[in-house]
Amino acid sequence: MIIYIIISIMFLIGIYGMMVKKNIIKIIIGMNIIGYAVNLFFVVLGYRNEGIQPILVPGIDIKEFVEKAVNPLPQALVLTSIVIDLSTICFLAALSIRIYEKYGTFDLEKIRRLKG
Amino acid sequence: MNLIIFPVILYLFSAFFIALALKENEKLSGIACFSFSILSFISVILIGKYLILNERIIYFVGGWKIPIGITLMVDNLSFIFLFILNLLLPLICWFSFSYMEKYLKAGYFYILFSLISAGLNGILISMDFFNIYVFLEISSIASYILVSFGLRIEELEASLKYTILGVIGSAFILIGIGLILGKTGTLNIADFTFIAKNIEKKQLWFILGLFIAGFGFKCALFPFHFWLPDAHSLAPSPVSAILSGIFIKITGFYLLIRIVSNIFIMFPESKVILIGLGLVSMIYGAIMAIEQNDIKRIYAYSSISQMGYCVLSLGIGGYWGYLGAILHFIFHSLSKSLLFLNSGIIEYKYGTTKIEKLNNLVEEMPYISTTGFIGMLSLAGVPPFGCFWSKIIIIIGAIMSHYYGISFICVIVSIITLGYFLKLQRNIFYSKSEGVKTGENNEFNLNLLMPVIILSIFIFLSGIIFSPYYKIWIDKAVKNIESFSYESLMEK
């Protein structure tokens, strides 16, 4: 149970970072934290205390295997999700470099030109 | 029947082919992208031919049956979206040949264009929550990059805003998918609806809420709208046409239809939320559009307003409500793409879309002013054109479901829409004031003109010969929304 509370606290910290902070780098870090929280959530879904790896080798009892093996699906999903996070964050980092070249600052207050 | 994977595979192949072989040569990469989009359109026509006799096409990836493997499905509802998407993409690609000339590295544009198209096609064919999420992210990341393609200062800022909010929306959707996985142990939509019958309702409310919030972000409904005007008005015009014409509808509206009326059937109450959100964004978009001073910003706010109409009609429900939602989606896609491409031609020739810098264009560009007039009249709901029929059907639907106040508000917002479009039309095309600079570049560019003319002919004809040709498809799609449940696929 405690792990889910930690995950929701992480998620809220990430949302706080993205919504409240004015520095682009801090916003990207907040986004990273949200990504970690969601990925951790997926990993925890598949976790099983004293589980075994989900590979069916000869000589193992099917019933025991079903009871003990961890769920491999969330792990496969987390890999995909990490790649998606990675590409988004790479893009945002490149974008912030471009913005720094044009404005000379990472502060959102100083570069805000658009309204609405 | 493995025809349905072709739209996705062709565009993915096009992306990697251009990236590996052609990206330095802008002309050739454009032609390659265009020919792949034509092939994809042909495959969609073949899918339609197959759907005349069959109710749906199902494809099991790798031969794994429903609870285990990834399942792909096209039914009549997704076919309507597939058809409109694959009709618009070749036209927009054609338009970009000339428009993208002034940008550096236009070869990269076609790579991203192919990726966004592959993602949108993939959302329409897949029947698996995580698969939908992956395709959603493919198209979203491509669209984040495309918004900042011109590297102007404002574009970078708009793209930053759009990316941050898009990531939050995606995080909501992903958490919802995680909760589904934790609760039911499956990601297949058919299997989920089968299991969800036996789960207590109050445990599913939170998931539905997360999904409505997430797809509301993508669909730019009222509280989540504020990225849309910047992103859609500052992107290059072909990109605005994709984003506003089709992207927000598939990533937001199509998935909302699926979630509300096919997957979470046990919550009829959720439609009240959709009516509220749709009504507010309809009024808000129309009011904000009045005071804008940029053509593309007016169109962007108008998109918020018209998406409000679609979602409102989905919330009203019943035969007429669903019919109005589907029809309004079709006509709004065609008209809004036409208008954004139109403003792209103006931007191409004069280098600006600010209203006060443009004047009396009717003498220099008679074709453009005519097509723009058709698009604006259609969106404002003037009789012979497309959106008139969809709006009047939405109003009929509201009256049939005893929402008299809502039908009144629909009429009022439609009149406001007509007002701001007429003001725009008069200011740009017909007002004559001296001393405003007009462009010298007055050539007759067929690459820019033809897609716009084809689109406006579509809008004109679809309004006049209204029912006989496509009524049967729309009726099938409406029946699909009303009575289809993924559960029925479980017996096979």
Report the C-alpha gap between B207 and B201 in whole angstroms. Answer: 11
Amino acid at A97: I
Higher-confidence residue: B471 or B176? B176
The answer, yes or no, to whether residue B438 has pLDDT greater than 60, is no
Q: Can you give the pLDDT at residue B87? A: 92
Q: Could you tell me the sign of the dihedral formed by the alpha carbons of B484, B489, B490, B492, in that order?
A: positive
Higher-confidence residue: B365 or B56? B56
- Chain A hits for B229, CB-CB cut-off 8 Å, are 116
Q: Can you give the pLDDT at residue B441? A: 52
Report the C-alpha gap between B253 and B488 in whole angstroms. Answer: 23
Neighbours of B470 (CB within 10 A): 15
Compute the count of residue pairs across chains A and B with CB atoms less than 8 Å apart. 80
Average pLDDT over residues A19-41: 91
Q: Specify the residue for token string 């979203």.
A: B140
The answer, yes or no, to whether residue B453 has pLDDT greater than 80, is yes
Closest CA to B205 of B223, B231, B179: B179
Q: Can you give the pLDDT at residue B117? A: 93
Report the C-alpha gap between B184 and A75 in whole angstroms. Answer: 17
Which residue intervals of A1-116 are DSSP H helices? 2-20, 24-46, 62-68, 72-103, 108-111
Taking the Cβ of residue A74 and every Cβ of chain B, the question of whether any pair is shorter than 8 Å is answered with yes
Q: Is residue B119 very low, low, confident or very high in pLDDT (cuts 50, 70, 90)?
A: very high
- Mean pLDDT for chain A? 86
pTM exceeds 0.90, yes or no = yes
Average pLDDT over residues B75-103: 90
Q: Is B220 helix (H, G, I), strand (E, B) or coil?
A: coil
The answer, yes or no, to whether residue B435 has pLDDT greater than 70, is no
Measure CB to CB from residue A31 to each of B145, B157, B167 and give the nearest one.
B167
Chain B's closest residue to A43, CA to CA, is B178
Report the C-alpha gap between B110 and B15 in whole angstroms. Answer: 7
* Beta bridge partner(s), residue B58: B73
The answer, yes or no, to whether residue B378 has pLDDT greater than 70, is yes
Q: Can you give the pLDDT at residue A62? A: 83
- Mean pLDDT for chain B? 86
Least confident residue range of B21-35, B343-357, B455-469: B455-469
Tokens linked to B275: 């009516």
Measure CB to CB from residue A77 to each of B130, B137, B154 and give the nearest one.
B130
Taking the Cβ of residue B48 and every Cβ of chain A, the question of whether any pair is shorter than 8 Å is answered with no
Task: Give the CA diameter of chain A.
Answer: 67
Report the C-alpha gap between B29 and B315 in whole angstroms. Answer: 43
Chain A's closest residue to B166, CA to CA, is A88
Tell me the angle at which helices B129-147 and B153-184 cross, rounded to the nearest 10 degrees.
170
> Is A95 in Cβ contact with B163 (below 8 Å)?
yes
> Is A95 in Cβ contact with B141 (below 8 Å)?
no
Tell me the ipTM for this assembly.
0.92
- Chain A hits for B148, CB-CB cut-off 8 Å, are 95, 98
Backbone angles phi, psi at B126, to 5 degrees: -90, 155
- The answer to whether B8 touches B89, Cβ cutoff 8 Å, is no
Q: Render pLDDT for B22-72 as a digit per residue (tens, 0 to 9).
A: 878 888 888 999 999 999 999 999 998 888 888 888 888 888 888 888 889
Which residue intervals of B225-294 are DSSP H helices? 228-234, 237-242, 248, 255-257, 270-290
Report, in angstroms and rounded to the nearest whole number, the Rg of chain A calculated over CA atoms.
Answer: 20
Residue A45's Cβ-side half-sphere holds a number of Cα atoms within 13 Å equal to 24
Q: Can you give the pLDDT at residue B222? A: 83
Classify residue B69 by burial, with Cβ atoms within 10 Å: 0-12, 13-18, 19+.
Answer: middle
Report the C-alpha gap between B67 and B128 in whole angstroms. Answer: 10
Report the C-alpha gap between B289 and B298 in whole angstroms. Answer: 5
- The answer to whether B125 touches B117, Cβ cutoff 8 Å, is no
Tokens linked to A77: 């999903």
Taking the Cβ of residue A15 and every Cβ of chain B, the question of whether any pair is shorter than 8 Å is answered with yes
Neighbours of A47 (CB within 10 A): 12
Report, in angstroms and rounded to the nearest whole number, the Rg of chain B calculated over CA atoms.
Answer: 22
Residue B69's Cβ-side half-sphere holds a number of Cα atoms within 13 Å equal to 11
Q: Can you give the pLDDT at residue B196? A: 85
- Chain A hits for B174, CB-CB cut-off 8 Å, are 38, 81
Q: How far is CA B472 from CA B76, B80, B163, B191, B460, in A?
A: 10, 11, 40, 30, 20
Q: What percent of chain B has pLDDT over 90?
A: 30
Tell me the angle at which helices A72-103 and A24-46 cross, rounded to the nearest 10 degrees.
180
Q: Can you give the pLDDT at residue B174? A: 92
Chain B's closest residue to A47, CA to CA, is B182
Closest CA to B475 of B323, B332, B368: B323
Q: Render pLDDT for A65-81 as a digit per residue (tens, 0 to 9).
A: 888 888 888 888 999 99
Q: Is residue B433 very low, low, confident or very high in pLDDT (cuts 50, 70, 90)?
A: low
Q: Is residue A115 very low, low, confident or very high in pLDDT (cuts 50, 70, 90)?
A: low
Q: Can you give the pLDDT at residue A114? A: 61
Classify residue B250 by burial, with Cβ atoms within 10 Å: 0-12, 13-18, 19+.
Answer: buried
Q: How far is CA B365 from CA B138, B276, B349, B360, B449, in A?
A: 38, 42, 10, 9, 11
Taking the Cβ of residue B226 and every Cβ of chain A, the question of whether any pair is shorter than 8 Å is answered with yes
Tell me how close the Cα of A34 comes to any Cα of chain B, in angstroms: 7
B421 Cα distance to chain centroid: 21
Measure CB to CB from residue A27 to each of B145, B159, B164 and give the nearest one.
B164
Q: How far is CA B285 from CA B244, B316, B468, in A?
A: 14, 20, 33
Average pLDDT over residues B170-186: 90
DSSP 8-state secondary structure symbol assigned to residue A70: P
Q: Render pLDDT for B278-314 as a digit per residue (tens, 0 to 9).
A: 999 999 999 988 888 888 899 999 999 999 999 999 9
Q: Render pLDDT for B131-165 as a digit per residue (tens, 0 to 9).
A: 999 999 999 999 999 998 888 888 888 898 899 88
> Is A96 in Cβ contact with B160 (below 8 Å)?
yes
Measure CB to CB from residue B160 to each of A38, A74, A99 and give the nearest one.
A99
